[in-house]
């Protein structure tokens, strides 16, 4: 995986590459579980 995380004022942006849709969703769920996170923008790309 190659995941980059940017955060600003409660908004987290995920970008980079993962190997499956399941891992993309998991990364988003983990980001949402962090205290103070209000929104997650999941721009991860699934590489087959």
Average pLDDT score, the chain: 97
Q: What is the pLDDT of residue 5?
A: 98
DSSP character at residue 34: S
Q: Is the pLDDT of residue 1 over 90?
A: no
pLDDT above 90: percentage of residues in the chain: 96
What sign does the CA torsion over 5, 39, 26, 15 have?
negative
Domain count, the chain: 1
| CB neighbourhood size of 3 (10 A) | 14
Rg (CA), the chain: 10
Residue 41 banded pLDDT, cuts 50, 70, 90:
very high
CA distance 13 to 37: 11
pLDDT in tens, 16-33: 999 999 999 999 999 999
Q: Which residues span the domain enclosing 30?
A: 2-46
Q: Is the pLDDT of residue 36 over 90?
A: yes
């Amino acid at each position: 995986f190659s995941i980059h995380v940017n955060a600003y004022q409660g908004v987290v942006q995920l970008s980079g590459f993962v190997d499956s849709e399941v891992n993309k969703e998991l990364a988003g769920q983990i980001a949402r579980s962090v205290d103070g996170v209000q929104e997650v923008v999941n721009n991860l790309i699934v590489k087959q």
